[in-house]
Amino acid sequence: MTPAILAHGTDSPTVRLPSSAKGRILSEDAPRVLAMASTTYASSSGPAIRAEGLVKVFGEHRALDGVDLEVPRGQVLGLLGPNGAGKTTAVRVLTTLLDADGGTATVAGIDVAKEPDRVRSVIGLTGQYAAVDEYLTGFENLEMVGQLFQMPRKQARARATELLERFDLVDAADRPSKTYSGGMRRRLDIAASLIAGPQVLFLDEPTTGLDPRSRLAMWEFIEDLVTDGTTILLTTQYLDEADRLADTIAVIDRGRVIARGTADELKAQVGGERLVFTVADAADLDRLAESLAPLGVDAPVLDRATRRLTLPVQGGAPVLRDALDRVVGMDVVDAGLRRPDLDDVFLTLTGHAAEDDQPGDAADSEEVSP
């Protein structure tokens, strides 16, 4: 959803709010403060998002360590990495919720540090947790955000109705959002971030915790937004999600961008076929690697967290048969030969799987139902 606003106690222009919202804070995520829609317009030239050398330090931890990003207008950048890699910190800096300790950034041609209010007027943001008012109905949530953007009430109501239809929430429009499932709250949150038709949309792990059906539906919503011309920065730890949605992928690990390119370009860096063996006990990985290494065209990659060995090979099915002969007597629970995917890219670049958690960046993901 768009960042939170206070119903009372601000200097913002008077807005007619639903009666159930008056006198209360409209979101528990207080740091996410939204400026009113501006009458100034962002630059129409250059990339939609540009970051150069972004640094953010928390104590002794460098959450961002010289991050460079660029997103052309109308495209999707997938920021790919595990929890703790720096994805959410990057989003918070680019959306003005955190000040960078170094580097520069512009969104829609506007300097994030110098003109944060203007940046907020041209962006939408959906965080990892749905920021909707649970006491308001779905319709009231969207109408309220529209009026806080200084839309005439009639226009705000029309826009709310349009978005409820688009996100398949019409049947629940008059129910308090606290009665919604997690997936419905997530859809309402994204709908709210689109009320003012933002030029740039930040989606911070929008499908985390969704069941497969809801996840697929969310992908289709995102693809529709891109078709309509919206620029999107999407953070994700799901490799298949980045593969499907992103025009360009930036792989981030421990606060640094370690690779960038299209999904095909990144896969080409890895190249060839892969033997993938999983053992019951991680202690057997070294013995497995010693047995299979002669078959490889490069050194095997061992991921002890998943008890998995990945070995670049050539030769197809005969190589797999040879490998199986070599591991007779070992407790192998899974074995196969496959073409490289983004899992292989991440594992090759970082030495660990994309799902491995790292400290210091992202909150625990919520469980979300459809």
* Per-residue pLDDT reduced to its tens digit, 98-108: 999 999 999 99
**Domain co-membership, 248 together with 308:** no
Three-state secondary-structure class, residue 239: helix
CATH of the domain at 298: 3.30.70.920
What is the residue whose two structure tokens read 């200084």?
A: 150
Q: Is the pLDDT of residue 97 over 80?
A: yes
In a domain, 282, yes or no: yes
**Domain co-membership, 302 together with 316:** yes
Q: Is the pLDDT of residue 16 over 80?
A: no
DSSP 8-state code for residue 17 = -
In a domain, 43, yes or no: no
Whole-angstrom distance, CA of residue 187 vs CA of residue 193: 10
Domain end, chosen from 266, 295, 328, is at: 266
Exposure string over 14-39, b if 16+ CB within 10 A, otherwise e: ebebbeebeeeebbebeebbbbbbbe
**Mean pLDDT over each residue of the chain, to the nearest integer:** 84
CA distances for 83 relative to 1, 156, 245, 253, 263, angstroms: 21, 36, 20, 9, 20
**Domain co-membership, 194 together with 326:** no
Q: What is the pLDDT of residue 35?
A: 35
**Domain co-membership, 233 together with 114:** yes
**Domain co-membership, 301 together with 189:** no
Domain end, chosen from 227, 245, 266, is at: 266
Q: Contact at 8 Å (CB) between 45 and 217?
A: no
Percent share of the chain, pLDDT over 70 = 83
In a domain, 24, yes or no: no
Question: What is the total count of domains within the chain?
Answer: 2
> The domain containing residue 294 runs over which residues?
272-339
Among 173-187, 188-202, 203-217, 277-291, which stretch is predicted with the lowest mean pLDDT? 203-217
pLDDT digits (tens, 9 = 90+) for 191-218: 999 999 999 999 999 888 788 888 888 8
**Domain co-membership, 61 together with 173:** yes
Q: What is the pLDDT of residue 340?
A: 77
**Domain co-membership, 279 together with 235:** no
Q: What is the pLDDT of residue 149?
A: 87
Length of the chain: 370
* Residue 222 tokens, joined: 């995102």
Q: What is the pLDDT of residue 44?
A: 59
| DSSP line for 87-118 | HHHHHHHHTTSS--SEEEEEETTEETTT-HHH
User: Which whole number is the average pLDDT over 106-135?
Assistant: 93
Q: Is the pLDDT of residue 20 over 90?
A: no
**Domain co-membership, 205 together with 300:** no
Among 25-39, 153-167, 182-196, 219-233, which stretch is predicted with the lowest mean pLDDT? 25-39
In a domain, 196, yes or no: yes
Q: Is the pLDDT of residue 12 over 80?
A: no
Q: Which amino acid is at 319?
A: V
Longest dimension (CA), the chain: 76
Q: Where does the pLDDT of residue 183 fall: very low under 50, low under 70, confident under 90, or very high at 90 and above?
A: confident
**Strands across the sheet with 256-261, in order?**
123-126, 200-204, 231-236, 76-80, 248-253, 256-261
